[in-house]
Amino acid sequence: MIILNVLLFTVEFLKTYIASAGIFKIKQKRKVFFFYLAAVLLLTTLTVFRENMNRSVLFVILTVFTLCLNAAEYRKIWMIPVIYIVVSMLDILNSLVFIRCLGLTMEQIQGNILLYTVINSVTLIGLLVIYGVLRKKNREEIHLPTPAYASLYILGGGASLIYLTCAQLSMMNEYKAIYHNLWLGGLICSGIIFLIIGGLLFHKTGENEYLKREQDMNRKILDAQANYYTLLLEKNKEIRAFRHDIKNHLYCMTILGKQGQYGELQEYLEKISHSLERTGFDINTGNEMVSAILNDLSCKYKEVHCEWHGKLQSPFTLSNYDICTIFYNLLCNAFEAAEKTKQKEITVQVKYLNDALYVVVQNYFEQNPVKEKGVFISSKTEGDHGFGIENAKMSIEQNGGVYEARVEGNRFITEIIIPEMNCETTVLG
Spatial distance between the Cα atoms of 69 and 399, rounded to a whole number of angstroms: 30
For residue 275, the model assigns a pLDDT of 60
Task: Locate the domains of the chain by residue range.
Answer: 2-175, 284-429
The pLDDT, as a whole number, for residue 416 is 92
- CATH class of this structure's domain 284-429: alpha beta
Quote the pLDDT of residue 240: 64
- The tens digit of pLDDT for each residue in 22-69 reads 887 787 777 788 888 888 888 888 777 776 666 677 778 888 888 888
Do the beta carbons of residue 190 and residue 124 sit within 8 Å? no
pLDDT score at 196: 66
Higher pLDDT, 389 or 113: 389
Distance, CA of 273 to CA of 115 (rounded, Å)? 87
Q: What is the pLDDT of residue 219?
A: 72
Q: Which amino acid is at 181?
A: N
**pLDDT of 126 strictly over 80:** yes
What residues are paired with 419 via a beta bridge? Answer: 356
pLDDT at position 222, please? 66
- Tens of pLDDT, residues 45-58: 877 777 666 667 77
Rounded CA gap, 268 and 51, in Å? 97
Least reliable range by pLDDT among 78-82, 95-99, 192-196, 343-347: 192-196
Q: How far apart are CA 84 and CA 20, in angstroms?
A: 9
Structure confidence by residue, pLDDT tens digits, 70-98 = 887 777 777 788 788 778 877 777 777 77
Q: How deeply is 80 buried, as exposed, middle or buried, from its count of CB atoms within 10 A (0-12, 13-18, 19+)?
A: buried
Higher pLDDT among residues 281 and 329, named by residue? 329
Cβ neighbour number for residue 426 with a 10 Å cutoff:
11
Of the two residues 205 and 13, the one the predictor is more confident about is 13
For residue 238, give the 3-state DSSP assignment. helix
DSSP codes, 19-61: IIIIIS---B-TTHHHHHHHHHHHHHHHHHH-TTS-HHHHHHH
Mean pLDDT of 372-398: 63
pLDDT above 80 for 300: yes
Q: What is the pLDDT of residues 130-186, one digit of tens each?
A: 888 777 655 444 555 555 555 555 566 556 656 555 555 555 444 444 455 555 556
Average pLDDT over residues 308-322: 80
Q: Which stretch, 202-206, 212-216, 267-271, 412-416, has highest mean pLDDT?
A: 412-416
Under the banding of pLDDT at 50, 70 and 90, the label for residue 188 is low
In 259-380, where does DSSP find H-type helix?
Answer: 262-278, 288-300, 320-323, 329-339
Residue 313 has pLDDT above 90, yes or no: no
**418 - beta bridge partners?**
357
If one compares 336 and 192, the residue with the highest pLDDT of the two is 336
Compute the distance between CA of residue 188 and CA of residue 257 in angstroms, rounded to an integer.
98
Give percent above pLDDT 70 in the chain: 60
So what's the pLDDT on residue 366? 79
173-183 tens-digit pLDDT: 444 444 555 55
Beta-carbon count within 10 A of 349 CB: 16
* Confidence at residue 373, expressed as pLDDT on a 0 to 100 scale: 47
How does the average pLDDT of the chain come out, rounded? 73
- Report CA 360 to chain centroid distance, whole Å: 20
Query: Which helix (H) or strand (E) segment is 109 a member of?
Result: helix 106-111
**Rounded Cα gap, residues 115 and 91, in angstroms:** 12
Minimum mean pLDDT range among 98-107, 166-175, 250-259, 262-271: 166-175
Give the residue with greater pLDDT, 294 vs 2. 294
